[in-house]
Structure 1
Amino acid sequence: MTPPVARWRHAANGAALLAVLSVASVVLHTTPNRELQHSPMVVPATLTEPASGRDLRATVHSVAVTEAVTAGNGWAGSTPGVWVVVELSVEAVVEDRDRTLGTAVLRVGDTEYSASTRPGTATLVSGRPATGIPLTGPLMFELPADVVSAPAAERATLELARNSDPRVDSLLVMPVDLAALDVQPSIDVDLPHWGVR
């Protein structure tokens, strides 16, 4: 017959082992995997409302789809597809750096379209956000014409970040229903300028 003290120690050891296994199970199932640890910190954004990340504040004023764009510096862009023109204001939150807007992506389904550099100084791609002073102007995305009428266009997203690699940093993400926008023959855009619209 096992002495009572030995039975108590055996039960205590079993309970301790069960507690250790339970904690290990919880840690294994709740610890984020490597992909999640390195993913961006998504900041939801909505049209006309300011959204702030770690070092970027942005307000999207409007989104339009057009066949051609003319800018204030005389640049005119036609395309076999369409242009998605996003008018927005951006500013740094923490510090001025000699760096342009690092990430400016329009995502439609599994495909990313980077903001075009073709317009040169007529777009915010070449601008350098300053701390507390909004820089307002357009971003222009060149897409195949059939993309804006595809089912995925209803759930497109505009993604903005200060860095070109937004992993482990803020990523402003705004849903954009491209399918709901009429395709205009052409639009004129102002050059980027300091201050709001």
Structure 2
Amino acid sequence: MPFRDRTDAGRQLALRLVEWADSGDLVNRMVLALPRGGVPVGAEISRALHAPLDVLVARKIGAPGRPETAVGALVDDEPAVFDSRSLDALELTEDAFDSEVARERDELHRREHVYRGDRPAPDVRGRAVVLVDDGLATGLTATAALRHLRRQSPGRLVLAVPVCSPHAAGELRAEADDLVCLEQPGSFRAVGEWYEDFAQLSDIEVVDTLRTFHATA
């Protein structure tokens, strides 16, 4: 098992990114974490890169009866991104998830308010953006987040995760300018299996971390 917890994973990932940043490929950089789990990972990267840390809230849309299995994801007020193969397997259309999308969008806006308050979303135009999560199974939330960021014309868009499935890695290489992933296990089943401690984080922990790193970066 490669990671003790999310902080350990962030430190290991930061080592890889620091080598890259020192080569001059990450100028005018900032770190955006997918909460909640991506925040402690992103905090270590923010510290190592001397870059500001903020969040980009994305919400997963789960399969009926299997909420942990993503069939779609959404960011901000943009249309949800769905995996067509999953919908075909379930014999469902996007319209079948209208109520779920509405619920997840309400939760998304709630979290944005809790995490950011009245502070505006960061301006990423022309900047090197490092998008961070604690791991990716389907990669749908990262896909929605990357597409959202791409529309804002960043200078460079990097996706950095400690562990992801080979399938997700293959899909996401087309969405990011660069993918940095420490582990792509062929036997991947769930992100949590690659952590000794994968305890759920609270909103308070996220806010405290953001307050520290956004204030000092």
- TM-score, normalisation: structure 2: 0.29
Computing the radius of gyration from Cα coordinates, the structure with the larger value is 1
Choose between structure 1 and 2: higher helix proportion: 2
- TM-score, normalisation: structure 1: 0.31
Choose between structure 1 and 2: higher strand proportion: 1
